[in-house]
Amino acid sequence: MKREQQGTTARPLAALVMAVALLAGCVADHPDPPPASQIRADAANVVDAREIVALVPGRAAADRLDRGARGQGFGFRERVELAGIGLWMLRYEIPAPLDGPGAIAALEAIEPAATAGVNHAYVPAAATPAPQTTVADRFDYASALMHWPAGGCPARGPIGMLDTGVDPALAARTGTRIETGDFARGAPGPDSHGTEVAAVLLDPRRLQGTALYAADVIGRSARGREEAGVDSLLRALDWLAAHDVRLVNISLAGPYNKLLDRGVDRAVARGMIIVAAVGNDGAGAAPRYPAALPNVVAVTAVDARGRIYDKAVRGAHVDAAAPGVDIYVDTGGAGHFVSGTSMAVPFVTARIAADPALYGAPAGAIRQRLGASTIDLGQPGRDATYGAGLVVAGPDC
């Protein structure tokens, strides 16, 4: 990744992915992009209201955009090559009196190959403390609910993760190798969320011989919140692609962003599988991203009885469910229980990592194969609450 910094393709696979994105005999209806009303509603959910980001496909396009942008008064912030996903990213300060939509239009007029967008914010699909009254009957129920093979399974390749940082001591506790990359804006946030998600993913009772590439994308933004900008997510995807990481766990959720859409398209076109949390904004909330992108596997959370997590986002884009309520995690010292769609994602990621028929397969094929082996929940067939149902493992690794 090459960077020039100063202090201060359209979607080629979209039609193919939608054509093959079958789950339990139904086409996955991923709202991509969402209605204009939802885009407007999310317009202010950005890490920096005066920043605009653009993606272009090569150095020549980056040069043209940069010359034109500076000529129109855009304040240069950064230019970086994302070689792993085949794009260049440029960041500017928006000149007055332009707003976000005006800046997008200006940059895309300067360089027709550019995709420009505001720098939307993404936050952990937060794991919340669970009541400590059910320890005896719910201790590590998840493996039994998913029919996970006793003794765990070998991982078929490295796994990536976009989240907060991860406690490095987790590597020794789980017998795994953890490589870290820091892509957070501003001061880094606490590492508790990322460590909890990684502890579930790396538990040797599920996976063994795992190499985790953990990208820390959560930092304190210009508006004083612990969140990730879309630029941080793109940098992290580029880093993972450069290390040939084919399977990525994302327990973050936020607005639709066409920069993220384009970056995910590039990563998926180069063989990456992305598994993401649907989010914890509740049943009436709009779809959250990247889970709602058509080439991402969207995961919701259920409890020990297969009931939906009450804060989970619903929608036609939901692909499948996994345990995510009262999940016991041991991050060192005393274990504790957490809940959230964040915690469901690593179970599905582990299921893919352990299966040679899934690891490395396209997202649509993964949906179809997972759907063929799920336990139906809720209304018969695919639905907007559980997707195809509860993901379960086969009898063997």
The dihedrals phi and psi of 98, each to the nearest 5 degrees, come to -65, 145
Q: Within 13 Å of residue 277, how many CA atoms lie on the same side as its CB?
A: 35
Q: Which CATH number fits domain 2-17+31-120: 2.60.120, 2.60.40, 3.30.360, 3.30.70?
A: 3.30.70
Q: Is the pLDDT of residue 14 over 80?
A: no
Ranges 2-16, 176-190, 238-252: which has the least confidence: 2-16
CA 1 to centroid of chain Cα atoms: 21
Q: Which residues of 197-223 are buried (b: 16+ CB within 10 A; e: fewer)?
A: bbbbbbbeebbbebbbbbbbbbbbbee
The dihedrals phi and psi of 316, each to the nearest 5 degrees, come to -65, -15
For range 204-230, the mean pLDDT: 95
Place of tokens 């967008």: 117
User: If you count them, how many residues does the chain have?
Assistant: 397
What distance in Å separates the CA atoms of residue 30 and residue 292, rounded to the nearest whole number?
6
**Angle made by CA atoms 374, 26, 285, in degrees to the nearest 5:** 85
| pLDDT tens per residue across span 113-142 | 999 999 999 999 876 665 554 443 445 799
Closest CA to 239 of 171, 349, 161: 161
Per-residue model confidence (pLDDT) at position 133: 45
Domain boundary assignment for the chain: 2-17+31-120, 122-372
308, 321 in Cβ contact below 8 A?
yes
What distance in Å separates the CA atoms of residue 235 and residue 267, rounded to the nearest whole number?
11
Q: Is the pLDDT of residue 322 over 90?
A: yes
Helices and strands, number each (H, E), in the chain: 12, 23
Q: What are the tokens at 371? A: 């759907």
Closest CA to 387 of 256, 304, 287: 287
How far apart, in Å, are the Cα atoms of 338 and each of 51, 128, 200, 289?
35, 5, 11, 22
376, 360 in Cβ contact below 8 A?
no
Amino acid symbol at 20: V
Give the number of other Cβ atoms within 10 Å of residue 13's Cβ: 17
What distance in Å separates the CA atoms of residue 349 and residue 252, rounded to the nearest whole number?
14
Q: What confidence category does residue 372 fall into, taking pLDDT thresholds of 50, 70 and 90?
A: confident
How would you class 304 by CB atoms within 10 Å of its CB: exposed for 0-12, middle for 13-18, buried for 19 or more? middle
**Angle made by CA atoms 97, 98, 103, in degrees to the nearest 5:** 160
Give the number of other Cβ atoms within 10 Å of residue 355's Cβ: 20
SS3 342: helix
| pLDDT tens per residue across span 143-184 | 999 999 988 999 999 999 999 999 999 999 999 999 999 999
Q: Which residues, including other chains, have CB under 8 Å from residue 162's CB and lie 6 or more apart?
A: 215, 217, 228, 233, 236, 237, 248, 249, 250, 252
The verdict on whether omega for the bond into residue 35 sits within 30 degrees of 0, i.e. cis, is no
Ranges 26-40, 63-77, 380-394: which has the least confidence: 26-40
Mean pLDDT of the chain: 89
Q: Which CATH number fits domain 122-372: 3.40.190.10, 3.40.50.280, 3.40.50.920, 3.40.50.200?
A: 3.40.50.200
Q: Is the pLDDT of residue 395 over 90?
A: no
Ranges 207-211, 271-275, 326-330: which has the least confidence: 326-330
For range 364-377, the mean pLDDT: 89
Q: Is the pLDDT of residue 25 over 50?
A: no
| SS3 readout for 176-222 | CEEEEEECCCCCECCCHHHHHHHHHHHCCCCEECCEEEEEECCEECC
Place of tokens 């999940």: 327
Q: Within 13 Å of residue 272, how many CA atoms lie on the same side as its CB?
A: 30
Per-residue model confidence (pLDDT) at position 189: 80
| pLDDT tens per residue across span 241-282 | 999 999 999 999 999 999 999 999 999 999 999 999 999 999
For range 185-192, the mean pLDDT: 86
